[in-house]
Amino acid sequence: MKKDFTPALLDFGALQIYLARHFGFCYGVENAIEIAFHTIKENPGKKIFLLSEMIHNPQVNEDLQQRGIRFLQDTYGRQLISFDELNADDIVIIPAFGTTLEMEKKLKQIGIRTEKYNTTCPFVEKVWNRSEQIAKKNYTIIVHGKPRHEETRATFSHAAFNAPTVVVNDMKEAKILAKYIRGEKPAAEFTEDFKNQYSEGFNVQEHLQRIGVVNQTTMLASDTQEIADLLKQTMIDHYGLTEANSAERFADTRDTLCYATYDNQEAATGMLKVNADIAIVVGGYNSSNTSHLVELCEKKLTTYFISSEEKILSSTEILHYNFHTKEELLTANYLPIHLPARILITSGASCPDALVEAVIRKLVSFYPENISMEKMVESFERGK
């Protein structure tokens, strides 16, 4: 059945909020958090570490730290606690992004069982499995992802174990890679163009003859598809193929797109069809999937990226994040002056629903003539 991506209208009177049909926690995030809290409960007195942030949400990570969990590394893999402090009796939780084969090996050498406390998202593992499948058919793996992101580093490690692998960050880099496929750029320049983004022993002349594209699951689905289409057409044109026999040079990997990321993005697109005044996106500032929701909304209307309701300072001021420049900005008079005010709201896959509710309550409080949140909930209950 065709999915309905029409947003839910919360009509408070003077304020109308259009809430995305799909938003917030996905299965992978919920599963990871559940495992982490269960581990804490079942192991009182034990030293428990997280390899890095559980998910890209400051509130969730702070909660885990308050319960005694310590982070071994930061988001970019920089060491916070030496591995020399670990022993075989300690617990190390692998975050939802997964980890590299090299890291798994290092932990196992210490005697730490990684399989029992591994919260890697099943959809990330699906990408790894698909990479292995096409590697067995002698395809080189092209990973569309952010090179420094934990998930991309993990996917690169797993892919590179089975096949030559290169990471492309965006369409610009994909077009550069296409030039190497067509022989339009000298192979000697590859190491600089893709510095720290290719597997050991990568040979441009040899390893770009058969390729397949997989992705960091939180990338913009349309971007991954555009990159895959570009590289597929490059192979067809360069080798004189047709759509029918393109598999000789290009592996079909459409099934590596995460359904939750896709649904959230499609729901944001559906929400943007509403004639609204502004959009608010809630989530962690270092969250890849949240930044892509912001990117979608920005194309249509003024968008404010906030991490919690605390960033809404008052009815006249909001502190929001510009993910392009990596800085927080203070904006005045952000709310529309006409009534009813129409606001679109969505959130990233690592954002708890309670944060979205808190944002809505804060906005509602600025319009005293509104009906209350409680009455709004009652009306929805009656409508079931």
| Catalytic sites, residue numbers | 151
In whole angstroms, give the CA distance from residue 80 to residue 74.
7
H or E stretch at 343: strand 341-347
Work out the number of other CB atoms within 10 angstroms of the CB of residue 382: 7
Contacts 24+ apart (CB under 8 A), 194-197: 194/166, 194/167, 194/168, 196/147, 197/147, 197/156, 197/166, 197/167, 197/168, 197/169
First-to-last alpha carbon distance for the chain, in angstroms, is 21
Whether the CB-CB separation of 275 and 342 falls below 8 Å is answered with: yes
Return d(Cα 155, Cα 125) in angstroms, integer. Answer: 9
Q: What's 139's DSSP letter?
A: P
Alpha-carbon distance 315 to 319, whole Å?
12
Which is it for strands 317-322 and 327-332: parallel, antiparallel or unpaired? antiparallel
User: What span, in angstroms and rounded, lies between the C-alpha atoms of 94 and 53?
Assistant: 9
**3-class secondary-structure state, position 142:** strand
Quickly list H helices, the chain. 27-42, 58-66, 101-110, 122-135, 150-162, 171-181, 190-193, 204-207, 221-239, 259-271, 288-298, 353-365, 373-383
As a whole number of angstroms, the distance between CA 247 and CA 144 comes to 19
